Structure 1
Amino acid sequence: MEEILAINGGKPIRETFLSYGRQWIDEEDINSVVEVLKGDYLTTGPYVKAFEEAVANYVGAKYAVAVSNGTAALHMACYAAGISEGDEVLVTAMTFVASANCILYCGGKPVFVDIDPKTYNIDINKIEEKITSKTKAIIPVDFTGQSVDMDRIRKISDKHNLIIIEDAAHAFGSEYKGKKVGTIADMTEFSFHPVKPITTGEGGVVVTNDEELYNKMMLFRTHGITRDSELLSENHGPWYYEQLELGYNYRITDIQCALGLNQMKKIDMFVEKRREIVKKYNEAFNEIDEIVTPFEEEFSNSGWHIYVIKLNLDKLKCSRKEIFEVLIAENIGVNLHYLPVYLHPYYKKLGYEKGLCPEAERLYEEMITLPLFPKMTNEDVKNVIEAVKKVINYYRK
């Protein structure tokens, strides 16, 4: 006998609402922030440098530049890459708007590439057909935390002399061919928003092995200003500085970086807990014909920022919207990642039209993001599984 859905007056699976993502903050995190608040530097102090070094060491990169948020990090990377008016940059359609907005900030034009229907990452087989004489860079996105095949991307970029900016906002702690994501692209961006693998409240970073790119980014995040005597046109004294470029105030604070440093101690545990939850989800949903669980390439070991299921709507007597709404009524905080970027009204005003990336558009109509974060209890995971099964059983044809 089918259970009555909460939206129809039945008892919800949970009494309290379970959000799709949530930060893990403990007493050590709090104490690390308090320590900074009691000290001499709240910003541009020693914790920023220490956090950058910790991130660079963790992923195996030479340099890291931390900034106020992940979008600022992408903007900074596009600037360092020299993106300017008339340049085209390839980017996946299935991503958050920041992956494309950063191109516009620099005067470039986003060129959207469709997704692989299995991985939901950029379809590498469709990249070269989008390359023109104006193409300057490519921004592959590690959607959900699964790495793009970066060796293939590197081969294409080298062939066409393109700069790679890997948008790994979902992939801090993920691995590609046994190594941490963050060393193959010319620049790799990570985000530290509260629902990401670790958090600094808000924050982002770009890692690179290229000293020239590193120096450009260091200037860019602080108004384009330097005190480096080797770069100054003249020197009036120890107080003297000069603005060399039109940069931004994208600085991150010591308060944030102290939190980030303490979070770094837990990153491996966070990632392991996410993987454990994903394993339980996969085991529960793999035998349900109405659901397609995430596919992962052999070369990828995802840290699973988000868990996306795809609905076989031809086997259900309802729309994705109905499934979404009834799960919310069961107190399961589902979400949706993402509306293809070019379908947003702003991008439509720029001339982008529906039909540009059919696979991304099809996925958008069928996908739902389930709750996934390290602090989920076994009961939380069980609730999500029970709710999904309850709803699918109700709407099964």
Structure 2
Amino acid sequence: MTQHSELSTPIPYGRQHITEVDIQAVVETLQSDFLTQGPKVAEFEQAFAQYVGAKYAVAVSNGTAALHLCAMALGVNEGSCVITTPITFVASANCVRYCGGTVEFCDIDPATALIDLDKLRQMVESKPKGYYSGVIPVDFAGNPVNLEELRKLADEHGLWIIEDACHAPGGYFTDSRGERQLCGNGRYADLAIFSFHPVKHIATGEGGMVTTNDEELYKKLLLYRTHGITRDPALLEENHGGWYMEMQALGYNYRMPDMLCALGISQLSRADEGLARRKEIAQVYDAAFEGFASIAVLGTSPGALDEKGGTGHAYHLYVIQVQDRKGLYDFLREHNIFAQVHYIPAHTMPYYRSLGYRKGDFPEAEHYYSQCLSLPMYPTLTADEQRFVIEKVKEFVANDN
């Protein structure tokens, strides 16, 4: 095996893996009668619903569209107040604002960077019932939120749950009965959303999915993703003929094309293989950094560990925390390692500060942000590349002490 003191090829934090089989799946669709709303859409929806264990799935143009449609389907409006975590991509909060609602943030558990369920309970119980409409937990980095515990709180206070599972297809937590609950299966959340951005587990370029077990919500999603228009004869108020359609609600063009669904179907067929490889990479990182007091590895939520020693963490990201994060970030870039930071706390963004939030509001989230760095994590990362990343992280930390 060749040892490398330097690697000339850039190593990103995430990367898509497109095979010849994927390419052929897209080519076949390009040569078919449908480029957009054809048979591959329903095929992908059915396959994805089966993969996560949900009754229904709705393919949409991206993860942000998925969040927006969920908020619409649940009736978010100017009178709604919704809680989410500040450590997420801003779309998790923005979807509420799109519908005119108010966003409030709940600080994170510093051990996992997930929304702190104890703080969330305190927050909800500090207000009268009905003050909050719902909560949007995020399975950050692929680490699943314990939705069974969250569901108890939600039921006590009449809250709905949108699970942002963009980082966690194939992830799971173990419930109080010892059963694995797959992220997005709809057992505890009203709706769940996924993204198929190139760095995600399943890559279609752009694309997203909503899953649910609620038939009424499912029908709303189908309507809202296509301008609020239906052609279903059973739903029409009038019927002038075979051409007739009705716009019954104000919807959007959030459809996912057939050719991207074809790619999604092909990618989904390798999802378990990719997830297994991510877990192998995480184990190598874990072993390499064990015992390094100056390198803190973001923890796995207790519910993601089962009695057989397995983990339900989906490892979209592998996050470490160091004192001199900026220094390490720059040092790695000098060596062609393009680590990334996830995320800048949403409440510190100028837009949310314009709504009254200030730096200092959520100290755990801000402390986490000051030290976090996502190392390269994707199935095609080679053993040599990972060794090089580990070598450079350790080199910087050793010299920084």
Q: Shorter-chain-normalised TM-score: which range?
A: over 0.9
Residue type of the alignment partner of 2:152: K
> What residue in structure 1 maps to residue 356 of structure 2?
351
Please give the residue correspondences for 1:253-264 in structure 2 after superposition, counting only pairs within 5 Å.
253-264=257-268
Tell me the distance in 1 between the aligned counterparts of 2:328 and 2:15.
Answer: 22
Tell me the distance in 2 between the aligned counterparts of 1:112 and 1:205.
Answer: 24
Q: Pick from 276, 293, 297: which aligns with 2:280?
A: 276
Tell me the distance in 2 between the aligned counterparts of 1:158 and 1:13.
Answer: 55
Secondary structure of the 1:234 match is: coil
Q: Deviations over 1:16-38 (max 9, x none)?
A: 21111000000000000000000
**Offset of residue 14 of structure 1:** 2.3
**Offset of residue 296 of structure 1:** 1.1
Residue type of the alignment partner of 1:61: A
Task: Tell me whether 1:69 sits opposite 2:62 in the alignment.
Answer: yes
Seq. identity, %: 49
Task: Tell me whether 1:139 sits opposite 2:136 in the alignment.
Answer: yes
Q: Pick from 49, 52, 61: which aligns with 1:56?
A: 49
Tell me the distance in 2 between the aligned counterparts of 1:230 and 1:15.
Answer: 61
Tell me the distance in 2 between the aligned counterparts of 1:226 and 1:112.
Answer: 36
Residue type of the alignment partner of 1:229: P
Task: Tell me whether 1:335 sits opposite 2:346 in the alignment.
Answer: no
Task: Tell me whether 1:305 sits opposite 2:335 in the alignment.
Answer: no
Task: Tell me whether 1:85 sits opposite 2:78 in the alignment.
Answer: yes
Q: Pick from 288, 292, 298: which aligns with 2:296?
A: 292
Task: Tell me whether 1:159 sits opposite 2:156 in the alignment.
Answer: yes
Secondary structure of the 1:296 match is: coil
Tell me the distance in 2 between the aligned counterparts of 1:158 and 1:25.
Answer: 42
Residue type of the alignment partner of 1:326: F
Residue type of the alignment partner of 1:380: E
Please give the residue correspondences for 1:37-52 in structure 2 after superposition, counting only pairs within 5 Å.
37-52=30-45
Q: Deviations over 1:238-281 (max 9, x none)?
A: 11000000000000000100000000110000000000000000
Tell me the distance in 1 between the aligned counterparts of 2:164 and 2:62.
Answer: 13
> What residue in structure 2 maps to residue 128 of structure 1?
121
> What residue in structure 1 maps to residue 380 of structure 2?
375
Tell me the distance in 2 between the aligned counterparts of 1:257 and 1:90.
Answer: 32
Residue type of the alignment partner of 2:326: K
Tell me the distance in 2 between the aligned counterparts of 1:351 and 1:297.
Answer: 31
Residue type of the alignment partner of 1:389: K
> What residue in structure 1 maps to residue 92 of structure 2?
99
Tell me if structure 2 keeps the 8 A contact 1:270–1:374: yes
Please give the residue correspondences for 1:147-226 in structure 2 after superposition, counting only pairs within 5 Å.
147-177=144-174, 178-183=180-185, 184-226=188-230
> What residue in structure 2 maps to residue 21 of structure 1?
14
> What residue in structure 1 maps to residue 252 of structure 2?
248
**Offset of residue 12 of structure 1:** 7.1
Tell me if structure 2 keeps the 8 A contact 1:111–1:130: no
Residue type of the alignment partner of 1:351: G
Q: Pick from 28, 40, 51: which aligns with 1:35?
A: 28
Tell me the distance in 1 between the aligned counterparts of 2:326 and 2:296.
Answer: 17
Task: Tell me whether 1:322 sits opposite 2:327 in the alignment.
Answer: yes
Tell me the distance in 1 between the aligned counterparts of 2:396 and 2:70.
Answer: 43
Residue type of the alignment partner of 1:120: A
Tell me the distance in 1 between the aligned counterparts of 2:183 and 2:302.
Answer: 15
Tell me if structure 2 keeps the 8 A contact 1:167–1:190: yes
> What residue in structure 1 maps to residue 177 of structure 2?
none
> What residue in structure 2 maps to residue 5 of structure 1?
none
Tell me the distance in 2 between the aligned counterparts of 1:122 and 1:342.
Answer: 14
**Offset of residue 173 of structure 1:** 1.2
Q: Pick from 385, 392, 399: which aligns with 1:394?
A: 399
Q: Deviations over 1:341-376 (max 9, x none)?
A: 010111111221111111000000011110100011
Q: Deviations over 1:215-254 (max 9, x none)?
A: 0100000000001122211110111000000000000000
Task: Tell me whether 1:114 sits opposite 2:122 in the alignment.
Answer: no
Tell me if structure 1 keeps the 8 A contact 2:145–2:301: no
> What residue in structure 2 maps to residue 238 of structure 1?
242
Residue type of the alignment partner of 1:181: C
Tell me the distance in 1 between the aligned counterparts of 2:9 and 2:17.
Answer: 19
Residue type of the alignment partner of 2:399: Y
Tell me if structure 2 keeps the 8 A contact 1:226–1:244: yes
Q: Which runs of 4+ in 1 moved over 6 A?
A: none
Tell me the distance in 1 between the aligned counterparts of 2:361 and 2:219.
Answer: 37
Tell me the distance in 2 between the aligned counterparts of 1:13 and 1:136.
Answer: 53
Distance change in 2, residues 1:322/1:334 (3 Å): same
Task: Tell me whether 1:227 sits opposite 2:214 in the alignment.
Answer: no
Which stretches in structure 2 are left out of the alignment for 5+ residues? 175-179, 305-311
Tell me the distance in 2 between the aligned counterparts of 1:366 and 1:241.
Answer: 54
Tell me the distance in 2 between the aligned counterparts of 1:241 and 1:339.
Answer: 44
